[in-house]
A and B are shown apart, each in its own frame.
Chain A
């Protein structure tokens, strides 16, 4: 009863507080929104607008409707790039996330000596700038002077050229894995830390070992975090750009213009001077990423509902 009678008296004061709080909230998000709108939303619309035009060196700019999109969907270079990244996703992402999960669980179990340092060590590659990483791996992969090839040769075997067209995709997978295991591990580790300790106690009383705890408690508990890393990885993979663009300098014939969709869009815009078509490619790539991410999310949700 007191509940129903109280509000009339409290409401004005409450409203004023609320309004003040709202205003503060808007003020806090304003800097972000400004940047977000100026740097992302406006350019997005602008490039959407551009993608409906064709600007030729001879003849200038004309409206062409969906022609750029139709062209992209029949462009072998673009399709190959998307498929290549699809393959990359299927091979590299499971390896990377399994490694990240394993390390996160190991560090979280508290049974690793110097867990703090392990965490840092695994994370460090993520902090190494891409250009440095490419220089370093370019040296490591080098066929005549690289330590990998030299080691293999020292054992009397023929060293494969890790920068050849056949192998470079795997070489890139290795670099990406090296760079992002730590990042994903941190996300998973943070999620692991938030699991209430009583669950472990209960499990131990029930006689569960560390592996059983990891499998039956920890992994299910951090499923949302794992899903997050999966989605991040999907986006990151389809947008792969830095590694191929840097490796293009040391293995120019192994990395084609359209090696990855994002690299293709860049080359179209800045080498071929075809900004409009590049915009269309970028939009289609965005749609592909949305679809794949959505399908993954949907399938895991369904599995959750079933179980």
Chain B
């Protein structure tokens, strides 16, 4: 026992010293950013970089992405990639920001959702990949997706998956209400909601008061452009436009007539609702079909997929919800190798097809979207429907021009406290939008942005 004490003391002392060092490291940092070789990389340089033993760190939460990384390492044996999962969503970005701020310990390549690119581009934390050859990849990806990762000639990430929105619904429940085809317009959808509720007691869908991503996707479909950012100091916030209020008035009506439920999504209550038939449908993204299979396995065969209801008959327009890219941090010491990793796993057909058919990430690459191995997959869960094909078609109908604020963390969290709260209270969604607008512009002004 006597020997244990000094050792513990020494250990504690060491950690105290380490902590002190960390602290000084924090204060001494200059905020990172900048850096990186901006000169175009020649083929010789690329070859040299890929044949030099290099160690890369890759922060990502994508399940089984090691499979694609293994393919990359087999292709370039000199490059050693360490895949690290530091969390998904907010914790992931917080850790990246902290590492950048600390000036060391930041990874080379990171998973980056489209809506967060602006916030990292603002702090000059992302490497512009165009000089490394990314500008030549444009044609490989769906137009609207490419717009999500590029701005004014700069490319900040290589698209990995996307979430064009569609409508998953329970064919059996709708049939009980005498509805044999998915509602084509929002008007029909509201009528169907009434029929479903009175005939079966189910809600045609759930309208989650916490899900900014879904609401933004629906606004995207409606042709709204609620956010803009000029890449410098000016942001545009327009979440309470007349059009946005029209869209929300539609939902307010359904919510107040108790035709759609308002449970927060991705909670136990919601999982139960999907599995138990409380909800007869889910307006979701292209990653939804596979997710649903895992959540509501017992209802296999009862679901069908369709495009979103439209605002005008005969139209085919959708929005996007989710998806992500791989970006390279500006602080990397191996920009060429890091870029090649981000590019290769999201561009080489062997890797991208693996993502699409084994991990079920919905692809942004044109060649995968046309590949029979992908689009002809028949999903038993959806009664043998070719769900991939449907969503491939939907992907082509997404409005191509949609921008984000450089502070989406706050936009999402303030959504819950304004418009989301109004939904949860079955209140005035128009006032909720006004409140959200206020919060977003106040934040922008406080942070020194000019608001358009």
A interface, CB within 8 angstroms of B: 30-31, 34-35, 37-39, 42-43, 46, 56-59, 138-139, 142-145, 165, 249-254, 256-257, 267, 270-274
Q: List the A side residues contacting B123 at CB < 8 Å.
A: 57
- Chain A residues with Cβ below 8 Å from B448 are 56-59
Q: Do B407 and A144 touch across chains, with their CB atoms under 8 A apart?
A: no
Task: Find chain A residues with CB under 8 A from B425 CB.
Answer: 165, 253
Closest 7 CB pairs of A and B: A58-B448, A252-B210, A253-B424, A38-B16, A56-B448, A59-B448, A57-B447
Query: From B10, which residue of chain A is reached at the shortest CB distance?
Result: A31
Q: Are A271's CB and B13's CB within 8 A?
A: no
Query: Which chain A residue lies CB-closest to B14?
Result: A34
B421 touches A (CB below 8 Å): yes
Can you give 11 A-B contacts (C-beta < 8 A)?
A31-B12, A43-B23, A46-B23, A145-B269, A250-B269, A253-B210, A253-B416, A256-B421, A257-B413, A257-B414, A273-B407
Cross-chain contact B268 with A271 (CB below 8 angstroms): no
Pick from A39, A145, A252, A253: contact of B16, CB below 8 A. Answer: A39
Contact of A272 with B443 in the complex, beta carbons under 8 Å: yes
Kindly name the residue among A142, A252, A274 whose own CB sees the greatest number of chain B CB atoms within 10 A.
A252
Is B191's beta carbon under 8 Å from chain A?
no
Q: A56 contacts B424, CB within 8 Å?
A: no
- How many angstroms from the CA of A256 to the CA of B416 in the assembled complex? 8
Query: Measured between C-beta atoms, what is the minimum distance from A135 to chain B in Å?
Result: 9
Beta-carbon nearest neighbor of B425 in chain A: A165
B410 — which chain A residues lie within 8 A by C-beta?
Answer: 271-273
A103 to B23, CA, bound (A): 45
Q: How many pairs, one residue from A and one from B, have CB atoms within 8 Å of each other in the complex?
A: 103
Does the CB pair B407–A57 fall under 8 Å?
yes
CB neighbors of A among B106-124 (8 A) = 122-123
* B9 interface contact, C-beta 8 A: yes
CB of B27 within 8 A of CB of A46, answer: yes
The interface residues of chain A lying within 8 Å CB-to-CB of B173 are: none
Q: Are B421 and A35 in contact (CB under 8 A)?
A: no
Give the residue of A34, A142, A249, A253 whose beta carbon is less than 8 angstroms from that of B13. A34
Which A residues touch B20, using CB under 8 A?
38, 42
Min CB distance, B96 to chain A, in Å? Answer: 12
Cβ contacts under 8 Å, B209 to chain A: 252-253
**Pair B268/A56 contact, Cβ less than 8 Å:** no
Closest Cβ–Cβ distance, residue A12 to chain B (whole Å): 30
Is B226 interfacial (CB 8 A cutoff)? no
Besides A35-B12, A144-B273, 11 more A-B contacts (Cβ < 8 Å) are A34-B12, A37-B16, A38-B16, A57-B448, A58-B449, A142-B268, A145-B269, A145-B272, A253-B420, A253-B425, A267-B413
Min distance, Cβ B119 to any Cβ of chain A, angstroms: 8
The size bracket of the interface on B is 35 or more
- Which residues of chain B have a CB within 8 Å of any CB of chain A? 8-9, 12-13, 15-17, 19-20, 23, 27, 90, 94, 97, 122-123, 209-210, 233, 264, 267-269, 272-273, 276, 278, 406-407, 409-410, 413-414, 416-417, 420-421, 423-425, 443, 446-449
Q: CA A269 – CA B110 in complex, angstroms?
A: 22
Asked if B13 and A31 make an inter-chain contact with CB atoms under 8 angstroms apart, the answer reads yes
Contact B94 A270 (CB under 8 A): yes
Shortest C-beta distance, B350 to chain A (Å), equals: 38
Residue of B nearest to A61 (CB): B31
Contact A145 B210 (CB under 8 A): no
Name the residue of chain B whose CB is nearest to the CB of A139: B268
| Residue contact A253 to B423, C-beta cutoff 8 Å | yes
Residues of B within 8 A of A267 (CB): 413
Which chain A residues border B413 with CB–CB below 8 Å? 257, 267, 271-272
- Complex CA gap A37/B413 in Å reads 35
In Å, the complex CA distance between A43 and B26 comes to 11
Q: In the docked arrangement, what's the CA distance between A37 and B423, Å?
A: 48
Contacts of B416 in A (CB 8 A): 252-253, 256-257
Known: A35-B16, A38-B19. A272 touches B409 (CB 8 A): yes
Cβ-defined contact, A144 with B421, below 8 A? no
Contact: A271 with B267, CB < 8 Å?
A: no
Q: Which of A43, A145, A271 contacts B409 (CB 8 A)?
A: A271
Could you tell me if A143 and B269 are in contact, using CB atoms closer than 8 angstroms?
Answer: yes
- How far apart sit A43 and B122, CA to CA, in the bound complex (Å)? 28
Q: Which residue of A lies closest to B234 (CB)?
A: A58
* Least distance between A257 CB and chain B CB atoms (Å): 6
